[in-house]
Structure 1
Amino acid sequence: MRIYVNEIKITDDSIKCYTEESTEGLQEAGQMLVDSDNYSFAYILDNGQSYSYLIFVQETWSMLHENKGKKIIINDNLELEQFESEFNYILDNIQGNLNYGKEFVSVVEDTFELE
């Protein structure tokens, strides 16, 4: 299932993300994927039987970047403890890697100020 982050609220210490779909019973799987065709990042969540994809579309990227280092909390009940390390890993992998597509790489590098 694809679960889209459709609202973000920033607090002093966290990025609170909200979705229309319930995330009850889901846990982070600690892995991030890239959908370069649709300009989004998908963080994998697991309910013990199947995976769901928490989708961060391009419109959410600047908030993630500007609030880097804060806790990521989904629907007020699911803290993504491995998100930052996985996200940093994927950004390092994208930087200068045209396998993701030149335009996608350019947008990611600009948004996240990668050099």
Structure 2
Amino acid sequence: MQKRIEVTKSYIEENTLYLQTEEFKHQIKNVQDTMQMITDSDNVSFIYILDVNDEFVYVSIPASVWPNLKDVLHSEQKIVAIVNEHKIELEGLKEELEYLISNIEGNTNYGEEMVSKVEALFLDK
């Protein structure tokens, strides 16, 4: 079964967007950024993939934190996930998000709710 953690809140501090996750219930020896993102249309969220202890872990970014993502998307601000006591810069998030937004626009394969929320927030439609 795929390991998954949910972003529970986001905040901007000192030129960085922090994505705070729920507690990860496994010991973390090492964390690496895969620089890859996918969507979860069923749960209307973006999924950023981290490599934790040589296993992929899905970091679910729900629509509730998308406004902060939009605010930093075209800025120089960093985006950092906080998983337990670990801070991981998500270096590929902006590029991956821009790519997904362009694919989602008008594409019903992502589901009506996902398309309408992405278009409304990120594309002002």
TM-score normalized by structure 2?
A: 0.82
Match of residue 7 from structure 1: 9
Which ranges of structure 2 fall in alignment gaps of 5 or more residues? none
Q: Give 1:100's match in structure 2, choosing from 110, 113, 117.
A: 110
Match of residue 23 from structure 2: 21
**Is 1:85 paired with 2:95?**
yes
Q: Equivalents in 2 of 1:66, 1:85: separation in Å?
A: 14
TM-score normalized by structure 1?
A: 0.88
The CA deviation at 1:33 is 1.0
Which ranges of structure 1 fall in alignment gaps of 5 or more residues? none
Q: Equivalents in 2 of 1:28, 1:105: separation in Å?
A: 27
Match of residue 59 from structure 2: 54
The CA deviation at 1:61 is 0.7
Residues 46 and 62 in structure 2, CA contact (< 8 A), matched pair in contact too: yes
Amino acid at match of 1:67: V
CA, structure 1 residues 109+77, in 2 after alignment: closer, same or farther (shift >3 Å)?
Answer: same
Q: Equivalents in 2 of 1:19, 1:102: separation in Å?
A: 27
Q: Equivalents in 1 of 2:100, 2:124: separation in Å?
A: 12
Residues 5 and 54 in structure 1, CA contact (< 8 A), matched pair in contact too: yes
- Residues 35-44 or 16-25, more deviating: 16-25
1:46 counterpart SS class: strand
Q: Equivalents in 2 of 1:114, 1:85: separation in Å?
A: 19
Residues 95 and 114 in structure 1, CA contact (< 8 A), matched pair in contact too: no
How many residues align? The count is: 115
1:77 counterpart SS class: strand
The CA deviation at 1:8 is 1.3
The CA deviation at 1:102 is 2.3
